Amino acid sequence: MSKVNKQSLWTSIKSKYSIYFVLIVLFLVCWLANENFVSVENIKNISTQISVGTILAFGQTILIISGMLDLSSASVLALAGVLSVSVYKMTGSLLLAFVAAILVGVICNILNGLMVTRFKTPPFIATLAMMTIARGAALMYTNGQNIYQIGAYIKFGQGRILGMPTPVIFMVTLLVLTWYLLRHTVFGRSIYAIGGNEEAANASGINVNRIKMQAFIINGIFVGIAGVLFMSRVNGGMPNGAVGYEFKALTAAVIGGTSFSGGIGTASGTLAGAFIVGFLDNIMVLVGVNSYLQQIVRGAIIALAVIYDIWAKTKRTKRKLGSAEAK
Amino acid sequence: MNVEVKLRVSNIEKSFPGVKALDKINFAVKKGTVHVLCGENGAGKSTLMKVINGIHKPDSGQILIDGQVVEISNPIQARSLGISMIFQELNYMPEMTIEESLFVGNWPKDKFGKVDWKEIRKRTLTLLEKEQLSYDPETKLKDLTVSDIQMLEILKAISYNSDIIIMDEPTSAITQKEVEVLFKKINELKARGTSIIYISHKMDEIFRIADEITVFRDGCVVDSRPKDAYDMETVITQMVGRKLESVFQKEDIKIGGTVLQVKGLTSDGKFDNVSFEVSEGEIVGFAGLMGAGRTEVMRVLFGLDPYQAGEITIKNKNVNIKNVKTSIDRKMVMLSEDRRRFGIIPVRSVRENVSLSSLRKFIYDGRLHPEVENQTVTDFCKKMNVKTPDYETSIEALSGGNQQKVVLAKWMVTNPDILILDEPTRGIDVGAKHEIYKLMTMLAKQGKALIMVSSELPELIMMCDKIYVMSKGKITGVLRREEFSQERIMAYATETISQEGVNQ
């Protein structure tokens, strides 16, 4: 019996920390592959590059754990971003611009949440609709034109505090916030329960609709912040910006071990997932891999991550079924 | 009587990582007989059946049909060899019609390779007629009861011309009346020469239906004899490997003041004008056939479904139950009949499952207090006698009985006054059942009010102080302990007699 326990402990450690192991191995491989990879500036560079996508990924992580997802995050990012830039140009207040972005993110996500909780639309469909609506709204508002000359607005995304790029500071702060929410709050525990078994969560006294709504609202705040950082980094309000970022975010979450069947996932796993993608992209550029091939590699990584996730899960269930049946 | 052996397994061994599930299993099923397998959960019965059905591959050993060694590597192959299995947990596609479901995976095709719906209709009607079942082939499965679907599964097995049918706890979800129909069918099948392997926990059934009995324990065959050479006591002793009191002794517990009072509770289309009372230290039973509305009443009481009329009074206070939260706040909790659906969060740990309904006890001052949580979880799991390697193990790794104890522990952490237990012993083994009875007694002693819904009359008669009987959404009778008898309860449940003044 003790042998069985030891074995399952080791397997559980393996499955729990495998993603960090992969990250470290990748880091070492990159180090060996190119001498320019390991330098303070390059690592800062990678971190800055992944920050916007990773912030979206934290929101996705919360939603995926609870059995939902957000396809609209990149479009809402664009809408929040252009409105925020234009608020700044009108008022000259960075604070108001920041608040405006968050407000837009939250409103769009309240609509997502209403569709899901009130009208029982599957999150995939609800956020697919929002994806199209928000992008359309961003384009309509700007008449399809980019907004340039954004002045001090670039401080959000291009500034440094104590030598640290501001996007990285935002990313780390939201990492800690996501970790705190998932680990230390009733909300977090409820999220895992709802994703694991919604009906049982409801029968345990959890207000499922309220928690789902809160998850969308938190996602909205993250999307708003990501919108500010993105526009600031590209020096303008771009209604066509960040296309495909929702998938970048989903990729980071999935590689980081968040399970699409719900109930499983962590903030730090998602960060690791984002860095894995970031390292890969960076090293491919450094060693001069053809940019089309880069895409193929990125896709293959997603496929591998999901296959591994499913494989690890069936192995786990099989082992458990075996031991439960034969005890 | 010398009957030929239809199916024989010899020296079957099967290991899963870390455990030996089957250890040199030998047994034989004779043609045209019912062979019952019993054993506690995890004794290896289901694993063996999965080996015979081609779901698991044995590590060593042989399977012989009609004396020929056969290799079975998947259920389709098993089917072609005449083996069909009816699973304990029926998996079906609710949107399918009866005729579609009968031929799923085996559709007859016309000369263009297109599914031949006319042929399907013809064969379905012939089959239904032959078995004297009055279903409409176009009815969707979601509109049928569990026992109807089970009957269809049997029909499917017949349509494949199976001569070995495996039934894994077929009566765990159907009522007494439906059990009779099932048994009649089994006898018909027997008469045609079909061999049936029947897995069950229910002793009275086993002795009614079996020709031979094989007892499993810890992956081994303990004994195999014709039914007449067995008695209930022996089977139970062999199953648990120790002498177990086959009947649980109810203790005398002092009954206090009324805790819960329900008056004229009505939910349109489900039940009507239901009134009852439960007191401190009392165990109140709810009997009735499936579909009588017992679970529906409990769901409304617990806040899972809305109600249209009626008054609910808890400790002399009128309460309006809006959702589950309000009833938990009023110290009323419910253990659901469907543990997998409403009880457990499968991917999460035992710890998280236990603390789920009392999170505010561990999360305060803006953070989680793991030491408080671990202490509470440990305390309650010990009290409930949960057997688990540790509390971080995911709950799906535990046996059914232990999962049930974890769910009970979750509710105990909320410190309830009223516990609604809907089929608390369904699908768990004899040993775990006794533990549940013991826990119920302990809770009643602490002055808690207990409501027990059960389809097993002996269990209700053994445990309860008072039994309400329901039929078609109404309470048709109420019995005090001294009036208990299976016959009377069944009479009320089928409304062959009626009692005046129950609903006043």
Query: Is there a domain that residue A263 lies in?
Result: yes
Which chain A residues have any C-beta within 8 angstroms of a chain B C-beta?
Answer: 3-5, 7-8, 12, 183-186, 189-190, 192-193, 196-197, 199-207, 259, 261-264, 317-327
Q: What is the pLDDT of residue B292?
A: 84
Q: Tell me the pLDDT band of B161, cut-offs 50, 70 and 90.
A: confident
Comparing CB atoms, the residue among B325, B347, B398 nearest residue A324 is B398
Residue that wins the pLDDT comparison between A149 and B203: A149
B335 vs chain A: nearest CA distance in angstroms? 9
Q: Is the pTM of this model over 0.80?
A: no
For residue A252, which of A283, A287, A286, A281 has the smallest C-alpha distance?
A281
CA–CA separation, B272 and B475 (whole Å) = 9
Query: Is there a domain that residue A223 lies in?
Result: yes
Q: Is the pLDDT of residue B501 over 60?
A: no
Phi and psi at B182, nearest 5°, equal -60, -45
Query: Is there a domain that residue A162 lies in?
Result: yes
Query: Is there a domain that residue A15 lies in?
Result: no
Comparing CB atoms, the residue among A185, A196, A324 nearest residue B363 is A185
| Cβ within 8 Å, pair A207-B325 | yes
Q: Residue A54, Cβ neighbours under 10 Å: how many?
A: 34
SS3 content of chain B, % helix, strand, coil (to 5): 35, 25, 35
Phi and psi at B9, nearest 5°, equal -115, 140
CA–CA separation, A131 and B124 (whole Å) = 48
Q: Where are the alpha helices (DSSP H) in B262-306?
A: 294-301
Query: Is there a domain that residue A101 lies in?
Result: yes
A60 vs chain B: nearest CA distance in angstroms? 19
CB B106 within 8 A of CB B150: no
CATH number where A119 lies: 1.10.3470.10
**A·B CB contacts under 8 A:** 121
Query: Is there a domain that residue A172 lies in?
Result: yes
Q: What is the pLDDT of residue B500?
A: 46
**Mean pLDDT confidence for B36-62:** 85
CB B449 within 8 A of CB B281: yes
Q: Tell me the pLDDT band of A326, cut-offs 50, 70 and 90.
A: very low
Q: How many domains does chain A have?
A: 1
Q: What is the pLDDT of residue A317?
A: 56
Q: What percent of chain B lies above the pLDDT cut of 70?
A: 94
Q: What is the pLDDT of residue B349?
A: 94
Element housing B425 (H / E): none
What are the tokens at B227? 């039914």
For the stretch B438-482, pLDDT in tens is 999 999 999 999 999 987 788 898 899 999 999 888 999 999 999
> Could you tell me which residues come within 8 angstroms of residue A146 by beta carbon, excluding any fewer than 6 positions away?
A236, A237, A238, A239
| Cβ within 8 Å, pair B344-A318 | no
Edge-to-edge order in the sheet of strand B309-314? B271-279, B258-267, B309-314, B317-319
Residue that wins the pLDDT comparison between A325 and B251: B251
Comparing CB atoms, the residue among A204, A323, A324 nearest residue B357 is A204
Q: Tell me the pLDDT band of A22, cut-offs 50, 70 and 90.
A: confident
CA–CA separation, B415 and B409 (whole Å) = 10
| Cβ within 8 Å, pair B22-A325 | no
Mean pLDDT, chain A, rounded, equals: 90
Q: What is the pLDDT of residue B236?
A: 74
For the stretch B184-231, pLDDT in tens is 889 988 998 999 999 887 777 888 899 999 988 878 888 889 988 888
Q: Tell me the pLDDT band of B140, cut-offs 50, 70 and 90.
A: confident
Please give the C-alpha separations between residue B213 and each of A147, B12, B199, in angstroms, as whole numbers: 82, 19, 10
Q: Is the pLDDT of residue B89 over 90?
A: no
| Cβ within 8 Å, pair B367-A318 | no
List of chain B residues whose C-beta atoms are within 8 Å of the C-beta of residue A259: 347
Q: Residue A105, Cβ neighbours under 10 Å: how many?
A: 32
Residue that wins the pLDDT comparison between B232 and B406: B406
* Biggest CA-to-CA distance, chain B: 76
For the stretch B311-348, pLDDT in tens is 999 999 999 998 999 999 999 999 988 888 899 999 89
For the stretch A172-208, pLDDT in tens is 999 999 999 999 999 999 999 999 999 999 999 999 9
| Cβ within 8 Å, pair A325-B46 | yes
For the stretch B427-437, pLDDT in tens is 777 778 888 89
Q: Is B387 exposed, middle or buried (0-12, 13-18, 19+ CB in 10 A)?
A: middle
Query: Is there a domain that residue A321 lies in?
Result: no
| Cβ within 8 Å, pair A196-B346 | yes
| Cβ within 8 Å, pair A204-B359 | no
CB A239 within 8 A of CB A78: yes
CB B257 within 8 A of CB B447: no
Q: Is the pLDDT of residue A9 over 70?
A: no
Query: Is there a domain that residue A31 lies in?
Result: no
Q: Is the pLDDT of residue B131 over 80?
A: no
Q: What is the ipTM of this complex?
A: 0.87
| Cβ within 8 Å, pair A196-B359 | no
Domain that holds residue A294: 40-316
Please give the C-alpha separations between residue A9 and each of A16, A305, A314, B392, in angstroms, as whole numbers: 10, 22, 17, 10
Please give the C-alpha separations between residue A219 and each of A125, A175, A194, A199, in angstroms, as whole numbers: 17, 13, 17, 23
Residue B29: how many CA atoms within 13 Å on its side-chain side? 27
| Cβ within 8 Å, pair A327-B42 | yes
For the stretch B346-391, pLDDT in tens is 989 999 999 999 999 999 999 999 999 999 999 999 988 888 888 9
Residue type, B220: C
Q: Residue B407, Cβ neighbours under 10 Å: how many?
A: 27
Which residue in A has a C-alpha nearest to residue B408's C-alpha? A204
Least confident of A85-94, A139-148, B44-53, B259-268: B44-53
Q: What percent of chain A lies above the pLDDT cut of 70?
A: 90
CB B239 within 8 A of CB B40: yes
A186 DSSP β-pair partners: none
Q: Tell me the pLDDT band of A306, cut-offs 50, 70 and 90.
A: confident
Residue that wins the pLDDT comparison between B201 and A276: A276
CA–CA separation, B248 and B266 (whole Å) = 35
Q: Is the pLDDT of residue B88 over 50?
A: yes
Element housing B226 (H / E): strand B220-226
For the stretch A249-259, pLDDT in tens is 999 999 898 98
